[in-house]
Amino acid sequence: MKNAAILYDATLCIGCLECERGCAAANNLPYDDTIAREKTTSEHKYTYVAVLGGEKYMRRLCMHCNDPACASVCPVGALHKTALGPVVYDASKCMGCRYCMVACPFNIPKYEWSKAIPAVRKCIGCYERQAAGKPTACAEACPTGATICGERSALLAEARKRLSENPAAYVDHIYGEKELGGTSNLFLSSVDFGKAGLPTHYGNQPLPPLTGNVLAHVPDVATIGMAVLGGVYWITHRREEVAAAEGAEKDQKKG
Amino acid sequence: MKRLGFWTSVFIVVLLFGAAATWLRFFHGLGASTNLSDRFPWGIWIGFDVLCGVMLAAGGFTLMATVHIFHVKQYEPIARPALLTAFLGYLLVIAALMFDLGKPYNIWHPVVMWQPRSVMFEVGWCVMLYTTVLALEFSPIVFERLRMQRPLRIIRMISAPLVILGVILSTLHQSSLGSLFLIVPGKLHPLWYTGLLPVLFFLSAVATGLAMTIFESTMSARHFGRALEKPIILGLGRLLMVVLIVYAVVRFQDMFHRRALAEAFQSSYESSMFWFEVGLTTIVPITLLLFRATRENPLRLYVVSILVVFGFVVNRLNISVTGMERASGVHYFPAWSEIAVTMSIVGMGVFLFTMAIRYLPIFHHEQAA
């Protein structure tokens, strides 16, 4: 199965923000100097380039987790991981519980707080472009090749090659290869990923089994519980019926 | 009558603020009416109205199980008030959800869009089904009042499976509210994040249900000048002590195993809130209840029950707000409009409870054959 992914190599990034501009254009989002200075994802900004100082940068965007927490917690399936790779969103299904925002370990889903009828907004990995075989808007806009698109396993091989060919230029780690069960997007950097602002305290297990393992017990609790409580009910009530019948018998004998 | 006048005017003022907040919420959105943000997407409408609302309604299933499944007939006189609290509680939780959901008109979506991997999906289904069960369990009270014999007979025929279903749904649902937070191991503070959240939510719900029943029975006995059923209150007090001790053992043992106890002894905002909560839910009430002088005095039990209810409200706000703040990087305090909506909902609950007690056979009714 194809896993359309992004490889972002921060050592090639020059902080020109073309990816931000390309993303805004492709998603019909506004973009100007003020928005360019906003260093966070939001309802009108799906990706941003963090400036780490000393000409170092780190892109942030939806990681498109292989087993995404946002999709697993959504009660109506408004968010889902496509077979192609990107995690997409269907506003018509969404009821606005915002559990995805609470659950996402990368704090990616953002909300239209100012609208009377709001929706969740996030990077959807340019699903339609990728489905048509085109690169994402950010990759297309990137002038240095810092962001490239492709099949995840091919990008992973490319990342490994860069690490082995030029070990001095990188932190020896491919962020997204294993984090939280792996993400479609892969990052390379010369700066420690934790210092670059990415979460590093989660480990390599995906989050959805944390709730999934508990939910798996629901049918058992329901059926066993009903059998036990039904049994208790029958016994306690029978005791009462027997007591009543015995009482009646005694009354008859006396009478 | 003077006192009633005072509370009525307070209620009206609260409702006026609530109406203004409602207008703000539905015409200008969640941003204008709440202090929620991308960094802090859940506030008191979830933390108090939903998480605490459901917990405060737990007396319903606890007493229905005690009286109708375990057949402890002694508690029958307070089963109906507890059922009333549960029914009103769930209706008000749904009302609160209509405020909090971004698109409340899509609230029915989980009925058709199945997503069994989602805790929220399960919570949605349990709320829906249990509210239906509660309506059916509550209906005989209305039928009695209207002297409708036929529907009364029909509903009594299915009363046993209804009670069992209600207890199962409540058990699942109360614990699931805890499971909601299992997905945020990196965000919820270690003083509160544990794999046992569903168990702790269930136990705290049972404790709060018992405490609420003591509280309400005492309040309504005073209000309507009835004699308090003393043996019942004392019995509930003993049950409360047992449940609190079990809760305390599970809570502290879990912290010990997770090596989280050290966190509690560091000086931080979280550890202060932790001790405040734990003091109110375990240390103080259990210590008081160990004395016969507390256990055998309805007035003192009433005070203990208030402590316990307040303590578990703090507990759930700690999990949903306090414990989530550090990772979010922001401090959340509700907007006036969030508080106004919450107070209106609580006010409606008290108002409807008082009305139901006045006009329906809640405390005085013919014993079912």
How does pLDDT run across B323-336, given as a tens digit for each residue? 999 999 999 999 99
State whether residue B34 is helix, strand or coil: coil
pLDDT at A105: 95
Amino acid sitting at position B162: L
State whether residue B33 is helix, strand or coil: helix
Q: Who contacts B323 (Cβ-Cβ below 8 Å, separation ≥6)?
A: B188, B189, B191, B192, B193, B270
How is domain A4-207 classified at the architecture level of CATH?
Answer: 2-Layer Sandwich (3.30)
pLDDT at B37 over 90: yes
Amino acid sitting at position B126: C
A161 touches chain B (CB under 8 A): no
Instruction: Please list every residue in chain A whose beta carbon sits closer than 8 Å to the beta carbon of residue B113.
Output: 75-77, 93
The residue of chain B with its CA nearest to that of A229 is B164
Min Cα separation A131/chain B (Å): 25
Report ipTM (2 d.p.). 0.91
With 0-12 / 13-18 / 19 or more C-beta atoms within 10 angstroms meaning exposed / middle / buried, residue A20 is: buried
Q: Could you give the CA distance from residue A21 to residue A36 in angstroms, rounded to a whole number?
A: 8
B124 touches chain A (CB under 8 A): yes
Q: Could you give the CA distance from residue B2 to residue A112 in angstroms, rounded to a whole number?
A: 47
The gap between the terminal CA atoms of chain B, to the nearest Å, is: 38
Q: What is the tens place of the pLDDT at every residue in B152-170?
A: 888 888 888 899 999 999 9
pLDDT at B366 over 70: no
* Partner B, chain A 48-77, Cβ-Cβ below 8 Å: 69, 72-77
Residue pair B107/A84 in contact (Cβ under 8 Å)? The answer is: no
Could A240 and B71 be called an inter-chain contact, meaning their C-beta atoms sit closer than 8 Å? yes
The residue of chain B with its CA nearest to that of A92 is B106
pLDDT at B288 over 80: yes
Min Cα separation B70/chain A (Å): 6
Q: Which two tokens stand for residue A243?
A: 């007591």
pLDDT at B77: 86
pLDDT at B362: 84
Taking CB atoms and an 8 Å cut-off, how many pairs form between chains A and B? 164
Q: How many CB atoms lie within 10 A of CB B119?
A: 28
pLDDT at B183 over 90: yes
Residue pair A60/A50 in contact (Cβ under 8 Å)? The answer is: yes
Could A211 and B41 be called an inter-chain contact, meaning their C-beta atoms sit closer than 8 Å? no
The residue of chain A with its CA nearest to that of B166 is A226
Instruction: Please list every residue in chain B whose beta carbon sits closer than 8 Å to the beta carbon of residue A93.
Output: 106, 109, 113
CATH number of B40-329+336-359: 1.20.1630.10
Could A229 and B164 be called an inter-chain contact, meaning their C-beta atoms sit closer than 8 Å? yes
pLDDT above 70 coverage of chain B, percent: 96
Q: How many CB atoms lie within 10 A of CB A106?
A: 21
DSSP string of B178-239, one letter each residue: HHGGGG-TTTS-TTT--TTHHHHHHHHHHHHHHHHHHHHHHHHHHHTTPPP-HHHHHHHHHH
What are the sequence ranges of the domains in chain A?
Answer: 4-207, 217-254
Residue pair B56/B306 in contact (Cβ under 8 Å)? The answer is: no
B68 touches chain A (CB under 8 A): yes
Which residues of chain A fall short of a pLDDT of 50?
1
Q: Could you give the CA distance from residue A108 to residue B38 in angstroms, rounded to a whole number?
A: 9
pLDDT at B23 over 80: yes
Q: How many CB atoms lie within 10 A of CB B97?
A: 20
A42, A75, A96: residue with CB nearest B110: A75
Write down the mean pLDDT value for chain B.
91
Instruction: Please list every residue in chain B whose beta carbon sits closer than 8 Å to the beta carbon of residue A222.
Output: 168, 172
Residue pair A60/A104 in contact (Cβ under 8 Å)? The answer is: no
Q: Could you give the CA distance from residue B294 to residue B244 in angstroms, rounded to a whole number?
A: 15
pLDDT at B368 over 90: no
pLDDT at B69 over 70: yes
pLDDT at B364: 64
Strand partners, B283: none
The residue of chain A with its CA nearest to that of B69 is A233
* Section B134-141 average pLDDT: 92
Closest by CA position to B88, among listed B347, B367, B366, B308? B347
